[in-house]
């Protein structure tokens, strides 16, 4: 009986796998959440343009669209080839697009990540902006860095050639950032302005930030040696201090159950905790106790951007044993 049951399960798995790879056809529309297929309508959809790419039944060419709330319509986000449809992972040539329909970037991908080849970026008006590539690191380190190979200003003049030169552009925050590149990396003094107001200045050596200084709306200055950092308690990049605190404060009257609790909460720029929410819990008593303990925590080092603290969301997973 058990043997027959196992055979039935294996046949069902084989059928599901086969249906996933052969059921869909060109023109089909699928919805996604965090690049995972979902049966409900979401703000992200994919239209299959071609199946059996390279004679592989599980490889598809797709166009990805995202919902533009201002127009209440889906606009083209990107075009790429994906291995399978349950999880979108670009493999091969990838193109992204602005909301106006002009190309934003293009390059090669492997398993959802950029390759070390050249990636080309464009302005919203369609003119070429830059050519960039990832360095492959060194023998002693596999860390990659983004190298600026070429750069063109809004007028079409090339100001960075073979990784060397000067660039001035508007960043994602709307600030005008300018400085020099040497061998593809930021080098020397870089500044950023909001109109006539200087927002920050940074000094780089071979792409590494050596020092920075920023100013807030009140004119207060902040010094830093890293552009951004996440909030942490006691020790950076280490959740053990939080877990030890929770374990010490936990009410023993509710102990005796094993399981995981996942929580999200706010770490304020002053270093306090607020808005604790249990994403997945164990029992009401355990959940309530964790909320109580986390809500009473203080002494956090807040998240910072260019030396300036800000409110941020923190995710925590706690493991309880009997």
Q: Taking 50 as the threshold, does the pLDDT of residue 176 lie above it?
A: yes
Instruction: Tell me, rounded to whole angstroms, the distance of Cα 38 from its chain centroid.
Output: 20
DSSP characters for 205-271? Answer: ETTEEEEEEEE-TT--EEEESSSEE--EESSTT--HHHHHHHHHHS-GGG----EEEEEEEEE-TTS
Q: What are 49-56's contacts with CB under 8 Å, separation 24+?
A: 49/79, 50/26, 51/24, 51/25, 51/26, 53/81
DSSP state of 102: -
Q: Taking 90 as the threshold, does the pLDDT of residue 322 lie above it?
A: no
State pLDDT tens for residues 227-284: 999 999 988 877 788 999 998 888 867 667 888 999 999 999 999 999 999 999 998 9
Q: Answer yes or no: do 26 and 76 share one domain.
A: yes
Q: Answer yes or no: do 209 and 250 share one domain.
A: no
Q: Taking 70 as the threshold, does the pLDDT of residue 1 lie above it?
A: no
Q: What is the pairing mode between strands 59-68 and 36-38?
A: unpaired
**Residue 1 covered by a domain:** no
Examine the fold and report which residue of 114, 131, 156 is the final residue of a domain before the chain moves on.
114
pLDDT at 20: 42
Segment holding 19, helix H or strand E? helix 2-22
pLDDT at 137: 57
pLDDT band at 142 (very low <50, low <70, confident <90, very high): low
Q: Taking 60 as the threshold, does the pLDDT of residue 19 lie above it?
A: no
CATH number of the CATH domain containing 238: 3.30.2420.10
The backbone region for 180, taken as left when phi is positive above 0, alpha when psi lies in -120 to 50, beta otherwise, is: beta
Give Cβ neighbours of residue 91 (< 8 Å, ≥ 6 apart): 59, 80, 81, 82, 83, 109, 110, 111, 112
Examine the fold and report which residue of 225, 247, 273 is the final residue of a domain before the chain moves on.
225
Q: Answer yes or no: do 122 and 221 share one domain.
A: yes
**Residue 248 covered by a domain:** yes
**Residue 11 covered by a domain:** no
Nearest to 123 by CA among 155, 91, 90, 79: 155
Cα gap 62→45, rounded to integer Å? 10
**Residue 233 covered by a domain:** yes
DSSP state of 11: H
**Residue 5 covered by a domain:** no
pLDDT band at 321 (very low <50, low <70, confident <90, very high): confident
pTM, to two decimals = 0.76
Domain tally, the chain: 3
Mean pLDDT to the nearest integer, 118-130: 96
Cα gap 46→36, rounded to integer Å? 11
Q: Answer yes or no: do 43 and 105 share one domain.
A: yes
Instruction: Tell me, rounded to whole angstroms, the distance of Cα 74 from its chain centroid.
Output: 22
Q: Answer yes or no: do 72 and 142 share one domain.
A: no
Q: Answer yes or no: do 108 and 125 share one domain.
A: no
Mean pLDDT to the nearest integer, 190-205: 96
pLDDT band at 38 (very low <50, low <70, confident <90, very high): very high
Q: Answer yes or no: do 156 and 133 share one domain.
A: yes
Q: What is the pairing mode between strands 29-33 and 36-38?
A: antiparallel
Q: Taking 50 as the threshold, does the pLDDT of residue 116 lie above it?
A: yes
pLDDT at 57: 81
Cα gap 314→320, rounded to integer Å? 20
pLDDT at 54: 81
Q: Answer yes or no: do 248 and 192 share one domain.
A: no
pLDDT at 8: 39
**Residue 144 covered by a domain:** yes
State pLDDT tens for residues 208-239: 999 999 999 999 999 999 999 999 998 887 77
- Domain with 280, as residue range(s), is 229-320
Q: Answer yes or no: do 103 and 147 share one domain.
A: no
Which tokens is 218 given?
């009140």
Q: Answer yes or no: do 269 and 295 share one domain.
A: yes
Mean pLDDT to the nearest integer, 107-130: 94
Q: What are 236-242's contacts with CB under 8 Å, separation 24+?
A: 236/301, 239/316, 239/317, 242/316
- Report the Cα–Cα distance between both ends of the chain, in Å, rounded: 36
**Residue 316 covered by a domain:** yes
Q: Answer yes or no: do 98 and 167 share one domain.
A: no
60 φ/ψ angles, rounded to the nearest 5 degrees? -130, 145
Cα gap 276→310, rounded to integer Å? 17
Supply the mean pLDDT for the chain. 88
pLDDT at 219: 92
pLDDT band at 37 (very low <50, low <70, confident <90, very high): very high
Q: Taking 60 as the threshold, does the pLDDT of residue 59 lie above it?
A: yes
Examine the fold and report which residue of 54, 81, 114 is the final residue of a domain before the chain moves on.
114
**Residue 13 covered by a domain:** no
Name 63's bridge partners. 47, 79
Q: Taking 50 as the threshold, does the pLDDT of residue 298 lie above it?
A: yes
Mean pLDDT to the nearest integer, 26-47: 94
Q: Answer yes or no: do 166 and 251 share one domain.
A: no
């Amino acid at each position: 009986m058990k043997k027959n049951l196992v055979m039935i399960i294996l046949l069902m798995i084989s059928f599901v796998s086969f249906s996933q790879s052969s059921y869909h056809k060109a023109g089909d529309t699928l919805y996604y959440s965090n690049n995972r297929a979902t049966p409900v309508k979401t703000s992200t959809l994919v239209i299959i343009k071609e199946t059996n790419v390279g004679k592989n039944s599980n490889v598809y060419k797709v166009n990805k669209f995202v919902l533009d709330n201002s127009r209440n319509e889906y606009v083209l986000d990107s075009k790429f080839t994906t291995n399978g449809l349950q999880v979108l992972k670009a493999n091969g040539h990838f193109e992204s697009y602005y909301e106006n329909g002009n190309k934003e970037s293009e390059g090669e991908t492997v398993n959802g990540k950029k390759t070390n080849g050249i990636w080309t970026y464009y302005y919203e008006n369609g003119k070429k902006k830059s050519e960039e590539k990832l360095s492959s690191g060194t023998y002693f380190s596999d860390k990659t860095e983004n190298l600026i190979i070429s750069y063109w200003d809004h007028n079409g003049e090339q100001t960075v050639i073979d990784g060397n030169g000067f660039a001035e552009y508007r960043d994602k925050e709307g600030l005008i950032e300018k400085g020099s590149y040497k061998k593809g990396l930021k080098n020397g003094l870089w500044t950023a302005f909001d109109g006539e107001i200087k927002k920050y200045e940074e000094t780089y050596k071979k792409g590494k930030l050596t020092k920075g200084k920023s100013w807030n709306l009140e004119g207060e200055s902040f010094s830093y040696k890293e552009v951004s950092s996440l909030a942490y308690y006691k020790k950076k990049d280490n959740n053990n201090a939080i877990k030890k605190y929770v374990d010490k404060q936990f009410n023993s009257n509710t102990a005796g159950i094993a399981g995981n609790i996942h929580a999200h909460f706010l770490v304020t720029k002053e270093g306090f905790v607020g808005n604790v929410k249990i994403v997945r819990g164990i029992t009401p008593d355990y959940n309530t106790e964790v909320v109580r303990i986390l809500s009473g925590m203080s002494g956090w080092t807040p998240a910072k951007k260019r030396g300036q603290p800000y409110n941020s969301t923190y995710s925590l997973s706690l493991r309880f044993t009997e």
